């Protein structure tokens, strides 16, 4: 036998052995990328190749933040869903691991969550170590084709080796479809200390359902919420439920996140939230909050068009105490058509969530995680300055603004400009603008002249807006630009806007501009950011 055949034979027998015991061979997303293709984000997570949508199963364990995600390894468009996998020790740098969950005869592996089963309630633990348990939706294409209502069921899988390999539970599904609702998916599970049980929140068409379990295997229906409240412009998806402290007080509330597609105020997919209480059985809206979300009206987590399906990390240690979220930085309106080839989609920056009691009621704010500051390679302070026309940032810093962070403070009383903000520009004259409109008291993001938009009629047809939520005389803007995206945290995170764009050449230049008057920059800081990929 020819020697060169031996490795092939070994591979073949490993494959046959794995298939025989019902496992597919571990497969890392391929082909390998240098992460330098046009539009490739340099400090945001994106898959090495092919299609990605929702982040899934975020859980912290033994020093690692796990990030699974909806993944189709065979094309750059949506297809049979897998859970791909990456880990990070700092929420900034990511290591790609082999695909964790493959579709099987029960269906595609749709979105869901993961928990550490500290008390080994499931019995999946080994050698005294708690198992990592993933809870996900099976989406069955045969049932879909047969027009059945029982397309989606909930299932579990476990890992005893830090999430590296997974075994699906032999008695899946753990929740059968009651055959009432075709949309019955995206389980997010938490351990509720108050009722001493696992609580699952599911997205079921136009409402949320809560289910309880002692062991992650046996589930019973608890209650539902939402038909009478919030935005109903589309189907509800990817929920999350968690308790959170009210900033600056000893009070704690429960937040229910509910993604919705379509229905976002600027079009397409978006994330709404509800604030209330959860007693182990039912979720009840805070009275003052209920008034702000009558049926048809949502409170929005992010006003940009490109932050969807975000849910939070499980098991972040109490000593850390943060509630951390990451979203998918795209929108179903055009996600399948965005002009990248080797891969499609990136995630938002990881953010921490903060609940504030404001004169208008409870509001969820969001901030970029502090770990991102390690990306600054150089920081240049900006002087206080009155700007009429434009203030050039290239000559002040020598930076390339395709990857940059800006922290700017503007004095509203001393600014007369009707419109002001930051403009990114390339040598082709394409521009992206983000800023504030005085008379309307609102933020805007303008990608209408930001390059390639021909792939979708609704990508760049209009300017996107966000209301201002506070009345301070100083407007603080914290911005991140990364080749194909802008993220703005305004007024310390009271409003955020996340948007993508596709300039035909990178936006290397930046300036602060004011239209119809002056804008007073009271202080600022600009940082050049490093890439995260080797």
Catalytic residues: 54
User: Binding of ligand FRU at residue 53 (CB under 6 A)?
Assistant: yes
User: Binding of ligand FRU at residue 185 (CB under 6 A)?
Assistant: yes
Contacting ligand FRU (CB under 6 A), which of 45, 110, 289, 502? 110
Instruction: Give the binding-site size for ligand FRU (rule: CB under 6 A).
Output: 12
Q: Of 185 and 344, which has the nearer Cβ to ligand FRU? A: 185
Q: Of 52 and 375, which has the nearer Cβ to ligand FRU? A: 52
Q: Of 186 and 446, which has the nearer Cβ to ligand FRU? A: 186
The Cα–Cα gap between 473 and 132 comes to: 48
User: Binding of ligand FRU at residue 54 (CB under 6 A)?
Assistant: yes
Bridge partners (DSSP) of residue 96 are: 86
The Cα–Cα gap between 396 and 391 comes to: 9
User: Binding of ligand FRU at residue 352 (CB under 6 A)?
Assistant: no
Could you please report the per-residue DSSP string of 222-251?
EEEE-TTBS--SSEEEEEEEEEEEBTTSS-
Could you please report the per-residue DSSP string of 250-299?
S-EEEEEEEEEES--TTSS-EEEEEEEEE-SS-EEE-HHHHTT-BTT---
Residues contacting 147, CB < 8 A, separation 6+? none
Interface residues for ligand FRU in 479-508 (CB under 6 A)?
none
Contacting ligand FRU (CB under 6 A), which of 117, 181, 186, 430? 186
**Does residue 461 have a cis bond before it (omega within 30 degrees)?**
no
User: Binding of ligand FRU at residue 84 (CB under 6 A)?
Assistant: no
Site mask for ligand FRU (CB under 6 A), range 265-304, x = bound:
----------------------------------------
User: Binding of ligand FRU at residue 405 (CB under 6 A)?
Assistant: no
In a 3-state reduction of DSSP, which class is residue 371?
helix
User: Binding of ligand FRU at residue 70 (CB under 6 A)?
Assistant: yes
User: Binding of ligand FRU at residue 208 (CB under 6 A)?
Assistant: no
Interface residues for ligand FRU in 117-146 (CB under 6 A)?
137
Residue corresponding to tokens 């909806």: 70
Q: Of 8 and 77, which has the nearer Cβ to ligand FRU? A: 77
> How many degrees, rounded to 5, is the angle at CA 252 between CA 251 and CA 254?
150
Is the distance from CB of 340 to CB of 84 less than 8 angstroms? no
Q: How far is the CB of 236 from ligand FRU (least distance, A)?
A: 9
Residues that bind ligand FRU (CB under 6 A): 53-54, 70, 81, 110-111, 137, 185-186, 237-238, 309
């Amino acid at each position: 036998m020819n020697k060169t055949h031996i490795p092939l034979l070994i591979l073949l027998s490993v494959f046959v052995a794995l298939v025989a015991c019902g496992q597919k061979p571990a497969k890392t997303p391929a082909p390998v990328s240098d992460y330098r293709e046009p539009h490739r984000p340099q400090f945001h997570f994106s898959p090495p190749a092919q299609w990605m949508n929702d982040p899934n199963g975020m859980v912290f364990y033994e020093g690692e933040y796990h990030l699974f995600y909806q993944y189709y390894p065979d094309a750059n468009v949506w297809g049979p869903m897998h859970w791909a996998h990456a880990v990070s020790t700092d929420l900034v740098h990511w290591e790609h691991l082999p695909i964790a969950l493959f579709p099987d005869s029960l269906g595609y592996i749709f979105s869901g969550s993961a928990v550490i089963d500290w008390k080994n309630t499931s019995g999946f633990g080994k050698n005294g170590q708690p198992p990592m348990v993933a809870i996900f939706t099976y989406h069955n294409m045969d049932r879909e084709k047969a027009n059945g209502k029982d397309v989606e069921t909930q299932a579990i899988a476990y890992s005893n080796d830090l999430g590296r390999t997974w075994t699906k539970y032999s008695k899946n599904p753990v929740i059968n479809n009651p055959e009432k609702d075709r949309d019955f998916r995206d389980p997010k599970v938490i351990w509720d200390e108050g009722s001493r049980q696992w609580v699952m929140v599911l997205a079921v068409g136009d409402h949320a359902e809560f289910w309880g379990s002692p062991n992650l295997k046996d589930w019973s229906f608890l209650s539902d919420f939402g038909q009478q409240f919030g935005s109903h412009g589309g189907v509800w998806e990817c929920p999350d439920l968690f308790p959170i402290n009210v900033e600056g007080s000893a009070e704690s509330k429960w937040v229910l996140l509910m993604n919705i597609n379509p229905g976002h105020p600027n079009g397409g997919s978006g994330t709404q939230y509800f604030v209330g209480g959860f007693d182990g059985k039912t979720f009840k809206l805070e009275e003052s909050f209920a008034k702000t979300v009558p049926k048809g009206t949502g409170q929005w987590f992010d006003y940009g068009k490109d932050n969807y399906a975000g849910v939070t990390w499980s098991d972040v240690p109490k000593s850390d105490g943060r509630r951390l979220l990451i979203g998918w930085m795209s929108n179903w309106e055009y996600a399948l058509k965005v002009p990248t080839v080797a891969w499609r989609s990136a995630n938002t920056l990881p953010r921490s969530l903060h609940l504030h009691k404001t004169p208008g009621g409870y509001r969820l704010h969001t901030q970029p995680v502090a770990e991102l500051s390690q990306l600054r390679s150089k920081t240049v302070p900006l002087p206080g300055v009155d700007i009429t026309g434009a203030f050039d940032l290239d000559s002040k810093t020598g930076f390339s603004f395709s990857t940059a962070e800006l922290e700017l403070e503007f004095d509203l009383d001393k600014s007369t400009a009707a419109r002001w903000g930051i403009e990114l520009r390339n040598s082709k004259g394409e521009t992206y603008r983000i800023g504030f409109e005085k008379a309307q008291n609102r933020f805007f993001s303008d990608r209408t002249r930001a390059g390639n938009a021909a792939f979708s009629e609704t990508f760049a047809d209009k300017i996107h807006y966000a209301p201002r939520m506070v009345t301070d005389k100083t407007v603080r803007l914290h911005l991140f630009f990364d080749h194909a995206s802008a993220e703005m945290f305004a007024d310390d995170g009271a409003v955020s806007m996340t948007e993508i764009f596709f300039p035909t050449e990178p936006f290397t230049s930046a300036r602060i501009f004011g239209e119809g008057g002056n804008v007073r920059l009271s202080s600022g800081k600009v940082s050049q950011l490093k890439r995260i990929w080797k």
